[in-house]
Structure 1
Amino acid sequence: MSIQSCSKDDAAAGPQPNSNTNTEENNNTGTDSGTEDDDGSITIYKVEGDKIVKEKDYKVTGKLLEFQKDTKKHQEIWNLVKRIIPANYRSRMSEFVIFAGEKDGTAGYVVERTRDLSKWQMGIAIDFAYQGGFNTRGELAYTIVHEFGHIITLDKVQVDSSVSQGGCKSFFTGEGCSRDNSNINKLYQNHWADIWEEFRKVNNENDAQKFYDKYKERYVTQYASTNPGEDIAEVFAMFVTTANGVHGNSRAEQKIQQMYDNPEMINLRNYIRGNIAKSSRSFLPAPGSWKNANTFGNKDKMHCGRHNKH
């Protein structure tokens, strides 16, 4: 089983005409639990500066109730979010959700909370966050970096939500029309436009596997081939978590180089790596470990793909 990582509504991180599911990492155990919404939601918090303030506890039972009561774990997850996302970017988050991802394989997600894409909700799966111990092998940190990658490539700075798909002359995300000079539009124009019609014919897992096998040289992970939104989030995550720079000229490495050519992305990378390096604990995954095909396999521990209900 693998895990999915994208924005909470799948269209937000990918092309509207093609509703692919996402895949990301693997590791999972069953839970005897339920919620009033039956999607694993446990507790929702409002983000107020550096703090999270409880807004609502969902009606849950079984293991989910145990997770709900363990607010120290909620805070520990949030503390790691704060170490990774700088305060001026964290101000774009209005809500933070603790949920259980076992049912649909979701590790995390983000979803826009305002029409103009200025505010976002982030959700983190507490069961995956503590599987094998807190942030085992840096997987939680990677999930947070990936989700943050969605926010900084899909927010109002990068995407104009007032432009419809019919009026969009650049890459259209689920949230709106990407701006001409946006990171996601550059990635689409340089690395997706020439294979877009072929990609749109992907209708099932077998098609997706064939598509990836044919174009794997273009992707930093198999999960990145899900759609442009997941691609750029994976590129950002690999850019941040991998220690060394680009040493080749594959399509995948060209995408990483696009990050190195962007001063904002370099500053974010330096902040995340420098802030985490202040601790004696290892918060990031080992370089290269996220390229393992078993990690980005056939299912989804999504950083997205959940329906917007809050």
Structure 2
Amino acid sequence: MKLIHIIFLFFFFSAFSQATDSERIGTWSVKNGEIIRNRSKNDQLAIYYWNEFNRIFPQELTKKYIKRIVLMTDGLDEKTGALVALSSKNDKWQLEIDVNDVNFYSKDKKRLHESVYTLVHEFGHLLTLNRTQIRPTDKKLQDEGELYLTLEGEAYKNSYINRFVNLFWKGALLNRWDVIQRKYCYTEANCVEKLYDLYLNNRTEFLTDYAAESPEEDIVESWTAFVLRPKIKKPRTIAHKKINFFYQFPELVEYRRMIRQNTRQYLH
């Protein structure tokens, strides 16, 4: 049984999603796919980041769902970006970008790759949590075999994340993850330690340690690998199978082709 916890929800958003005022460079509304200027000195910076995000990813999703962009920084390699729901209907989203971490002017190839990685990751959340994938619900409990329950709502049966969880988060793994949420995620330190242990004990199932944080992060880390890595011809681990999971969806194969084409200037 999976239980959505209010305490963990608070921790998740306070630790990973919300930029504090001291970190913020600025906030801009997005309307009809265009930045609404604030008449601030950073308007051009916001326009640059939004135009680049909108250029790289399918506009049928970016223009439809992204309604606000936040530029911030907390230094290098801390929080690199986030995607935050602005509506319980999952039809309005806020994109947050750390301008030090996502830097396409850098001459450092590693920084350029990490910049692309961050944006592909955040787009993955939009892809898997938008209103066509998740519906609002008041449910707090998910029993074995039921539709996957996220902080954003209940997954549709044929949603990407529901299929992903049914394949890769069966029984014991999901139960162990839920125990960690209930018993240890009252403090950030305990939560991070136990989730890292979950990763270490299941290394062949996760592509990164961050993927073990939740099924929502696992599918997005797997999506990012699907976009940026070659197809695994002979998958030997569950982690490899997670990369290949996305090839069954023609629309995602096309998104992959588009994103790789639109980011090749940064990756080669």
**Range class of TM-score, shorter chain:** 0.7 to 0.9
Counterpart check, 1:73 vs 2:45: yes
Return the match for 1:174 from 143, 151, 155.
151
Deviates more, 1:245-254 or 1:164-173: 164-173
Shift of 1:151: 0.9
CA distance in 2, matches of 1:201, 1:162: 22
Shift of the 87–206 alpha-carbon distance from structure 1 to 2, 3 Å rule, reads closer
Cα RMSD over matched residues? 2.9
Letter aligned with residue 65 of structure 2: R
1:48-94: CA deviation from partner (whole Å, max 9, x where unpaired)? 3342113586xxxxxxxxxxx34443333223202222111112111
Shift of 1:44: 1.2
Deviates more, 1:253-262 or 1:185-194: 185-194
Shift of 1:127: 2.3
Given the two structures, how large is their TM-score scaled by the length of structure 2? Answer: 0.80
Report if aligned partners of 2:231, 2:243 keep a CA contact under 8 Å in 1.
no
Shift of 1:233: 0.8
Residue in structure 2 matched with residue 95 of structure 1 by the alignment? 68
CA distance in 1, matches of 2:227, 2:174: 27
CA distance in 1, matches of 2:27, 2:166: 37
Secondary structure of the 1:44 match is strand
Deviates more, 1:179-188 or 1:75-84: 75-84
1:150-201: CA deviation from partner (whole Å, max 9, x where unpaired)? 0111111111113523478311100101111111112222211321221223
Residue in structure 1 matched with residue 236 of structure 2 by the alignment? 249
Shift of 1:219: 1.0
- 1:12-51 equivalences under 5 Å are 16-17=4-5, 19=8, 37-51=20-34
> Quick one: percent identity of the two aligned structures?
25
CA distance in 2, matches of 1:182, 1:50: 25
Deviates more, 1:225-234 or 1:131-140: 131-140
Alignment length, in residue pairs?
Answer: 244
CA distance in 2, matches of 1:234, 1:109: 13
1:210-239: CA deviation from partner (whole Å, max 9, x where unpaired)? 211110111111111111011011111111
Report if aligned partners of 2:3, 2:142 keep a CA contact under 8 Å in 1.
no
Residue in structure 1 matched with residue 16 of structure 2 by the alignment? none
Secondary structure of the 2:29 match is strand
CA distance in 2, matches of 1:236, 1:176: 20
Given the two structures, how large is their TM-score scaled by the length of structure 1? Answer: 0.70
Counterpart check, 1:197 vs 2:172: no
CA distance in 1, matches of 2:3, 2:208: 18
Q: Which has the higher helix share?
A: 2
Residue in structure 1 matched with residue 101 of structure 2 by the alignment? 128
Report if aligned partners of 1:84, 1:145 keep a CA contact under 8 Å in 2.
no
Shift of the 138–77 alpha-carbon distance from structure 1 to 2, 3 Å rule, reads farther
Report if aligned partners of 2:102, 2:118 keep a CA contact under 8 Å in 1.
no
Residue in structure 2 matched with residue 260 of structure 1 by the alignment? 247
Residue in structure 2 matched with residue 185 of structure 1 by the alignment? 162
Report if aligned partners of 2:135, 2:155 keep a CA contact under 8 Å in 1.
yes
Shift of the 45–180 alpha-carbon distance from structure 1 to 2, 3 Å rule, reads same
Report if aligned partners of 1:44, 1:56 keep a CA contact under 8 Å in 2.
no
Unaligned runs of 5+ in 2: 14-18, 185-189
